[in-house]
Structure 1
Amino acid sequence: MKSSSADRSDVVVVGGGAAGLSLAHRLVETSSATVTVIEPPDGPLRPAERTWCYWDAGADGLEGVVSASWKVVRVYGADGRPITVEPAPFTYRMVRSTDFEGLVHGHLARSEGGRVLRATAESVHSVAGGAEVRCRLPEGPSRTLRARHVFDSRPLTALPPARTQLLQHFRGWFVHTDTARFDPAVADLMDFRVPQPAHGLAFGYVLPLAPDRALVEYTEFSRNTLTTEAYDAALGHYCRDILGLGAFTPENTEQGVIPMTDARFPRRAGAGVFRIGTAGGTTRPATGYTFAAAQRQSRSIAAALRDGHGTFPAPYGRRALAMDAILLRALDTGRINGPDFFSDLFRNVPAERLLRFLDGTTSLREEWGIGLRTPVRPMLLTAAELPFLPRRSRPIARSGESHR
């Protein structure tokens, strides 16, 4: 049976998370390509509402869906000393997934060749002249879509072999306090006053939304996730004993697991099939930052397709990935103290430069200067041993996507 014209597009985007929606947004914004976004139907495969946070300066086209932003950020060292910085021109911005989805769906509906298909993608593979996606509709029948390019944002079922694999895992509460307890002008990025695990590091994370409301999270960088009960116990301790919130009510929750690994993520899965999002290496290995890189990559892909190019740039350069591999290994071996490492970076490096470094957009000269402000001996020792370490496959834990 031949495919109808409705089953053909210039581009099919598989998955309606941050990466898939970002790419669809940039495609309809800058090109005349016909775009189909395949999203899971309502049910267990469709993720709950979540937040995405990122750094940016100036206008980026997402102003209408930024629900909160902060010009001042703070880090608490393990000794309790605060480090408060103003990283102008950058602001830290929060986007709710439902707002972003509404923005992109609206753009697709108004564009001549854009649409959203609610279906479960079952297979993606290359065919002559492009790629094919086989999916199943909510009513049960299967459907096949063809396109010149397919961008697949679905999570991998297994991570590629790596020398180091940690997990950034977190659980957060949207809390409502009985009295004003938060300063809406200041976001706490890392609060290392929480008890530290035997392996890895842990920190609190507070994004104030009003004097009596905030997103409060407990995050670990370690090899294994915790139980829900353990996350809630850590969150309760942080809220009551460290933040001193007094009486409060958790109104909503969010939870996730982000791989922090020096694995190599192939971006091309076939002649016309490309991976985006975490599956395509968009997550910064040493920080978990994803959303800003997804915006950069989406703009680059849209520009390449508009100009008729068939190659797309990597989310991060080789230098950034090499530095991340060293840092991950140094953290995993315990050669460096994680809370002291990150606290000292915020204390000793100009905030604007540090944020660009964490996002992978600094120059070689800037990176050299930042490197001199890290524990040089353990980092050099780690760099020397990395080429001789084997890459191994490990099980993957996954329950969410990056919130940064």
Structure 2
Amino acid sequence: MIRRDLQDETCDVVIVGGGASGLSLAHHLTTTGSCTVTVVEAPEGPRRPPERTWCYWDQGTGDFDEAVCASWSRLRVHGTDGDAVTVNPSPLRYRMIRSSAFERLVHARLARSLGGHLLRATADTVRGTPDGAEVRCTAADGRTLTLRARHVFDSRPPRALPPARTQLMQHFRGWFVRTDKDRFDPTVADLMDFRVPQPHHGLAFGYVLPLAPDRALVEYTEFSRTPLTTAAYEGALIRYCGDTLELRSYAVESAEQGVIPMTDARFPRRMGPAVFRIGTAGGATRPATGYTFAAVQRQSRAIAAALRGGHAQVPAPHGRRALAMDAVLLRALDTGRISGPEFFTGLFRGVPAHRLLRFLDGATSFWEEWGIGLRTPIGPMLRTAVELPFLPRRVHPDPRTGEHPDDTAA
């Protein structure tokens, strides 16, 4: 149910933040009805994030199929030379969820559950107490209340990323476009189109998710140290739509823009005996790709299972081998030792698609990963792997301001 009365209360679990990680955890905790859960979600206004798109690959049916707005059975990557490789990752399908549809679905499920509550308020502070933790909140009208719980799971992003050897950003702007004629194949998603001008540092690519023959999400994305201005993204999208996709007549229906950290930083998942971080704040974003949604589901299921067993913990969303390989790749990209377009295009050309996607999800065996490693530039990757343990971890400047802000998030 949605809480309209603002009174101090006590429950088993408080989840701070109603994004993908917070609502996913609430869903998994309330499915069995084994505990009471309150989700603190910012009221309408500037603190609420704009609508976002989340993509992932999966097979069969999933918990949130009702919110999936499109899916694709084939994936395509275009090299800088214009050659394309199209793959079928069966039994996996690439799926897309819009945040508004996801929120409506989970909100409805919380309203029907016995122990789930949604509170529209801004979480001001989170702190541990002798018997658990408490969250102090402020409603839109200025009234305050305190929530006390046995456990608090905080999904708010930290104000600064932890120290890292390498920190890049995946930053992008996308347009939902409608064309005057059928221009898209709804069965094929273009994951990476490297036919765009490449920046001096990092890499850039187009990203096209067809929603209908005459409608698609078209994005311009870069992996680099600093985001662009909105005007620069707009210019890149105009060139990509016109010069590369050859869309002569189209209307932009809406836009989305974002920045995703790509870092080998170590994200602390426990901030106190009863306070935990989840989602991107808890390390769920895959460092080398920026994908988060699938890892959030694994993390949420694991937390729910642990609480049912009487243990409070947030397991690591990615294995050590996966994080080690990602750290090497990020450093190799950042130093320019490898070409990003050639690296990713080579993987899709040389590795079976279903195995490559399982690899990107951290679900491959050591020997499968060894075989994939042989498809990469071995010399530059080995050189990077050897130097990486000797590199210091440091706090990198905030990409928005250039400053080194203190991480004061509770």
Q: Which amino acid aligns with 1:45?
A: R
With the length of structure 1 as denominator, give the TM-score of the two structures.
0.96
Q: Which residue of 1 aligns with 2:374?
A: 372
Q: Which residue of 1 aligns with 2:315?
A: 313
Q: Residue 163 of structure 1 contacts residue 263 of structure 1 at CA under 8 Å; is this kept in 2?
A: yes
Deviations 1:153-176 (A, max 9, x none): 001101111100000000000001
Deviations 1:49-104 (A, max 9, x none): 11111111111121111110001010001111001000011000011111110111
After superposition, where does 1:333-372 map in structure 2 within 5 Å?
333-372=335-374
Q: Which is further off, 235-244 or 5-14?
A: 5-14
Q: 2:231 aligns with which of 214, 219, 229?
A: 229
Displacement of 1:31: 4.0
Q: Which residue of 2 aligns with 1:384?
A: 386
Displacement of 1:5: 8.8
Deviations 1:239-276 (A, max 9, x none): 01100111001110000000100000000011101101
Displacement of 1:362: 1.3
Q: In structure 2, what is the Cα distance between the partners aligned to 1:202 and 1:195?
A: 7
Deviations 1:180-217 (A, max 9, x none): 00000100000000000000000000000001000000
Q: In structure 2, what is the Cα distance between the partners aligned to 1:56 and 1:376?
A: 30
Q: Residue 42 of structure 2 contacts residue 48 of structure 2 at CA under 8 Å; is this kept in 1?
A: yes
The number of residues matched between the two structures is 396
Q: In structure 1, what is the Cα distance between the partners aligned to 2:361 and 2:252?
A: 31
Q: Which residue of 1 aligns with 2:132?
A: 130
Q: In structure 2, what is the Cα distance between the partners aligned to 1:34 and 1:79?
A: 56
Q: Residue 130 of structure 1 contacts residue 149 of structure 1 at CA under 8 Å; is this kept in 2?
A: yes
After superposition, where does 1:2-151 map in structure 2 within 5 Å?
7-151=9-153
Displacement of 1:140: 0.4
Displacement of 1:311: 2.6
Q: In structure 2, what is the Cα distance between the partners aligned to 1:203 and 1:311?
A: 38
Q: Residue 190 of structure 2 contacts residue 207 of structure 2 at CA under 8 Å; is this kept in 1?
A: yes
Q: In structure 1, what is the Cα distance between the partners aligned to 2:113 and 2:85?
A: 46
What is the SS of the residue equivalent to 1:64? helix
Q: Which residue of 1 aligns with 2:197?
A: 195
Q: Residue 270 of structure 2 contacts residue 314 of structure 2 at CA under 8 Å; is this kept in 1?
A: no
Q: Residue 33 of structure 2 contacts residue 115 of structure 2 at CA under 8 Å; is this kept in 1?
A: no
What is the SS of the residue equivalent to 2:182? coil
Q: In structure 2, what is the Cα distance between the partners aligned to 1:201 and 1:48?
A: 26
Q: Which amino acid aligns with 2:338?
A: I
Q: Residue 126 of structure 1 contacts residue 270 of structure 1 at CA under 8 Å; is this kept in 2?
A: yes
Q: Which amino acid aligns with 2:248?
A: G
Displacement of 1:310: 2.2
Q: Which residue of 1 aligns with 2:182?
A: 180
What is the SS of the residue equivalent to 1:115? strand
Displacement of 1:395: 2.4
Unaligned runs of 5+ in 2: 1-5, 402-410
List 4+ stretches of structure 1 deviating above 2 A.
395-399
Displacement of 1:30: 3.1
Q: Residue 157 of structure 1 contacts residue 396 of structure 1 at CA under 8 Å; is this kept in 2?
A: no
Deviations 1:294-338 (A, max 9, x none): 011111111111121223310001111100100000000000000
Unaligned runs of 5+ in 1: 400-404
Q: Residue 258 of structure 1 contacts residue 398 of structure 1 at CA under 8 Å; is this kept in 2?
A: no
Q: Residue 30 of structure 1 contacts residue 303 of structure 1 at CA under 8 Å; is this kept in 2?
A: no
Q: Residue 160 of structure 1 contacts residue 393 of structure 1 at CA under 8 Å; is this kept in 2?
A: yes
